[in-house]
Amino acid sequence: MSKVYIRKDKNGEFENINQYTAYKGFKELGFEIVFFNNIEEIIDNKPEDIVVGYIGDVRAILKKLGKDYPEMNYPEELHKYMGRNLWQDKLNNIVNNPDKWGVFIKQAQGTKQFTGKVINKISDLRSVIGVDPETLVWCSDVVEFVSEWRCFIRYGEVIAVKQYNGRWDKPINFEILKSAVLDYTESPNAYVIDLGVTDKGETLLVEVNDGYSVGCYGLDPIKYAKFLSARWSELTHTEDLCNF
């Protein structure tokens, strides 16, 4: 059976709940677990050997294997679920033009350098200090989300919905979730759709994230391991031993 490489810190402790949950799930599924502290320690891995760590860790191994990892934030098939305008611009154009403020921005590609946020005033620009001004960003109209929910999808089926922000008593419209999953025909084998409920009661798309390195958000360990395995095998063109 293939191995699963899981990150630990220099003291041999799990750095976060995601790594521990993945360990517990893959261990119960019978995988051989190999721990690492620095991604450069992984030198003899095969494509089918799953890597669990930070986004940079996973991308580094995929790159070493010659595998691509697409950017996913706002798939075109799901634009109709945005409920607001969406466009791209360069960070420099937003920062230097106050008439463009009153907008939500998020990095469009590459390693994450800042957390998406609303730009309304000069102080809101602190988080982008030092970021390459030519960085491409997603821009969207500002909406007020009162609750936000992460929806895990594996092989076209919703396996869990977890609240991660806002009010617990403002659930999403599950019919909209089902519709979005059906409409996303070009979806990977494992991904998450983040949906939010606005102050007007609408269920709108927040964003979509690839499944190769997302947090567990309280997902059952075995479900989480199978979720990670589904996407890893797809990206590496190997057999998903957890496809059951």
Residues 6+ apart with CB under 8 A from 127: 114, 115, 117
Q: How confident is the model at residue 213 (pLDDT cuts 50, 70, 90)?
A: confident
Decide: helix, strand or coil at residue 25: helix
Cβ density class 60-84: b for 16+ within 10 Å, e for less: bbbeebebebeeebbbeebeebbbe
Q: Say which range, 4-8, 71-75, 231-235, has the weakest mean pLDDT.
A: 71-75
Mean pLDDT, all residues of the chain: 95
Nearest to 209 by CA among 116, 91, 146, 99: 116
pTM over 0.95: no
Tokens at 196, concatenated: 């939010």
Query: What is residue 20's predicted lDDT score, i.e. its pLDDT?
Result: 98
Backbone angles phi, psi at 127, to 5 degrees: -70, -15
Query: What is residue 69's predicted lDDT score, i.e. its pLDDT?
Result: 87
Query: What is residue 109's predicted lDDT score, i.e. its pLDDT?
Result: 79
- pLDDT tens readout for residues 129-168: 989 999 999 999 999 999 999 999 999 999 999 999 999 9
Q: How confident is the model at residue 15 (pLDDT cuts 50, 70, 90)?
A: very high
Cβ 33 vs Cβ 3: under 8 Å? yes
- pLDDT tens readout for residues 69-117: 888 889 999 999 999 999 999 999 999 999 999 999 999 877 778 888 9
Query: What is residue 119's predicted lDDT score, i.e. its pLDDT?
Result: 95
